[in-house]
Amino acid sequence: MRNRLYSRHKKPQPKKPLSNKSVFEIARELKELSRPTSSYREQSLKIHGLICAKCGREFDYKDRHLLTVHHKDGNRLNNPPDGSNWENLCIYCHDDEHGRGLLADYLKNKEQ
């Protein structure tokens, strides 16, 4: 009976390295970030459709958070309303496009 109160709320938490984000973690963050009101992303999805421009994978409404907007010229502030600077890429292709690990930073710094 000696250790009865001990370890009652003990829940070991595995430590995760901060810098090694998986695309799934990015996706989870995106899901939180994606709001129906968010601007150019919604525009781009509307214009180009729920399909990845690179691998051609199609998405539907419930997994659209896996689809991200890539700026062709690399300038996130260049958002012409006709969508000419946007490309819809799935997170896998987008991650690929920016190089591993950089996508998280790219998305974190978005203005909306």
DSSP structure class, residue 1:
-
Closer Cβ to Zn ion, 55 or 101, answer by number = 55
Determine if 102 is a binding residue for Zn ion (CB under 5 A).
no
d(CA 10, CA 77): 47
CB of 103 to Zn ion, least distance (A): 7
Closer Cβ to Zn ion, 16 or 55, answer by number = 55
Handedness of CA 70, 76, 82, 85 (dihedral sign): negative
Q: Which of 55, 78, 100, 112 binds Zn ion (CB under 5 A)?
A: 55
> Tokens 């963050």 appear where?
29
Binding site for Zn ion (CB under 5 A): 52, 54-55, 70, 90, 93
